[in-house]
Structure 1
Amino acid sequence: MKDPAPGPDPIDLPFDGEGDRRAEEQAVGVASFILSLRARGIRDTALLRAMELVPREVFAPRRFSDLARTDVALPLPCGQTMTGPGTVAAMLLALRLAPGQRVFEVGTGTGYVTALLARLGAEVATVERFSTLAESARQHLRIVEAGKVRMEVGDGLALRPRERFDRILLNGTVAGIPEAVTSLLAPAGRLVGALAVEGLPRLVTVVRTEEGELRQEIGGPLRLSPLVRGVAETL
C-alpha cells in the first residue's frame, strides 16, 4: 500500500500582536476620553456618541497625536489653537443642535468641530481665514467622510447678505457679537460663542425670538482664542 501523497506545506500566519495591542489601547483611550467628558457634566447621548466616533487624532497635529484623546488644547500652524474637547462639548451642548438644521461656523480650524456638527446631522457652512488651515481641514474632512459641509476661505465676521441659518457657532472670542453675524440668525435661531467680559472669555448665547428680538445670555468661562476679522494675506 502506497503512502498518501504529501499535502501542501502548512502556511504560517503571522500573529499581529502589535496591532491588537494598539487597537486595545485605542479603545481604552476613547473610553477614558468619553468618561472624562461625562465627568465634566456632558450627558447628551448624541453629542457623546459623535465625540466617540469622530477621531480627534485625525485632526490633531501629528506630533501631538498621543494627546488627541485628552482634554487639552493643541497648538496649530498660523499661530492658532485646536480647542480642548471639553470646551467644544460645552459649546455644542449650548448650541442645542437638531438634525437637519443649517449651521454657520466661523473658524474652521482643523475641521474637527465641523466634523462633529456634520455627525450630529447638521448642514454646515464653515469659513476659515487661513488658507493653510482650510486646505488641511478639507483633507481631514475627506478622511472621516464628513456629511454636508460647504467650506470657504474668507472673513466669517463679514456681512453675508441673503443667508439665514438655524445655528451659528463662533469658534473663538469676540469683544462684541457683530451685527453682520446676528443678522444671519433665522427666527428661533441660536448663536453660541465666547464674549470677552472684563478681559476673560465667557460662553455667550444669543437667541432670536420668533418676533425677531435678540436675547443674550452670558455663561461660564471658556478657554478660546480671539477671533480676528479679515482674511490672512500670507498663510
Structure 2
Amino acid sequence: MTTDGSIEAAAFVMALRGRGVRDTDTLRALERVPRERFAPAHLRDLARRDLALPLPCGQTMTAPSVIATMLTALGARPGMRLLEIGTGSGYVTTLLLRLGAAHVHSLERYAVLAEDARSALLPEDRVRVTLATGDGLDPACLPEGRFDRILLNGALSDLPPHLFAALAPGGRLVGALGTAEAARLVVVAVGTDAAIQERTGDRLRLGSLTPGRARVL
C-alpha cells in the first residue's frame, strides 16, 4: 500500500471509530482491505466514505459502519469455516478472510456479481474461497457440512430454519430482520448442547435478501 493509501486507510478507520466501531480485529480488517478495489469504477472516489454504493443488478455495497457492526457481532476467529449469503462485490468476503477464516463458501444469486467478485479477489485469496452462483435461502444450494459462522448480507422477514441446522455446535449466524427501511441486527447462537438462542440488536440500513436464483446471467 502506498503512503497516500496508508493515510487514506487510517483516516477511514478513524472515521469509523468516530461512528462507534470499537472492535480491534474488525477495524484492522477494514484498514487492510481497500474498498475501492470492489467498488464500481465510477464510484471509487467515494469508497472510503461511510456510504452504501450501488452495484449492478440493483444491488448495493453496504455502508462500512453497517458491515463493521455485523462483523463484530459475527465474531469470526482464525481457522473457522464460514458461509456467506449474498456475495455482492466480494468486499465482505475478503474482510472475512482478513479476520482469519480458513475457508469462506459464498453464494450469490446474480451471476454477473459473482463473476465481478471473483475477479476482484486477490489470487492468493481465491484458494480459500468457494464462490458459487445460487440461492443461499434454498437448502438445496447449501454445501455439505456445518459452519462455524454464517453471515447474511441482507435483511429478511424471517430466518430460514435450515440455516440453523447448518451451524456447528457453538456456531453463530448474523443477519438482519425486517425490511430495507426498517431492519434490526439479529444474532442466532447454537450452544454446544444444540440449544438455539436468538437476539436482536440495533437498527441497520441494509438491503433485502431476495430468494431464488436470478434469471439475469
User: TM above 0.5, one fold?
Assistant: yes
Contact 1:191 1:206 in 2 (8 A): yes
Shift of 1:212: 1.0
Structure 1 residues 81 and 195, CA gap change in structure 2 (3 angstroms): same
Q: Highest CA radius of gyration, 1 or 2? A: 1
Count of residues in Structure 1 that have an aligned counterpart in Structure 2? 214
Match of 1:5 in 2: none
CA distance in 1, matches of 2:89, 2:170: 29
Match of 1:70 in 2: 49
Counterpart secondary structure, 2:71:
helix
Percent of aligned positions that are identical: 50
Shift of 1:30: 1.6
CA distance in 1, matches of 2:10, 2:122: 25
CA distance in 1, matches of 2:144, 2:45: 43
CA distance in 2, matches of 1:108, 1:119: 16
Unaligned runs of 5+ in 1: 1-22
Contact 1:119 1:147 in 2 (8 A): no
Within the candidate set 134, 137, 154, 1:157 is matched to 137
State the TM-score, normalized to the length of structure 1. 0.86
**Residue 193 in structure 1 maps to residue 175 in structure 2:** yes
Match of 2:117 in 1: 137
Shift of 1:98: 0.8
Counterpart secondary structure, 2:131:
strand
Match of 2:93 in 1: 114
Counterpart secondary structure, 2:213:
coil
Unaligned runs of 5+ in 2: none
Contact 1:101 1:166 in 2 (8 A): yes
**Residue 44 in structure 1 maps to residue 23 in structure 2:** yes
**Residue 224 in structure 1 maps to residue 206 in structure 2:** yes
**Residue 173 in structure 1 maps to residue 155 in structure 2:** yes
CA distance in 2, matches of 1:30, 1:161: 35
Structure 1 residues 131 and 71, CA gap change in structure 2 (3 angstroms): same
Match of 1:101 in 2: 80
Please list the CA deviations of residues 102-132 of structure 1 after superposition, one character each: whole Å capped at 9, or x if unmatched: 1100000000000000111112110000000
State the TM-score, normalized to the length of structure 2. 0.93
Q: What root-mean-square deviation, in Å, do the aligned CA atoms of Structure 1 and Structure 2 show?
A: 1.9
Within the candidate set 155, 176, 185, 1:203 is matched to 185
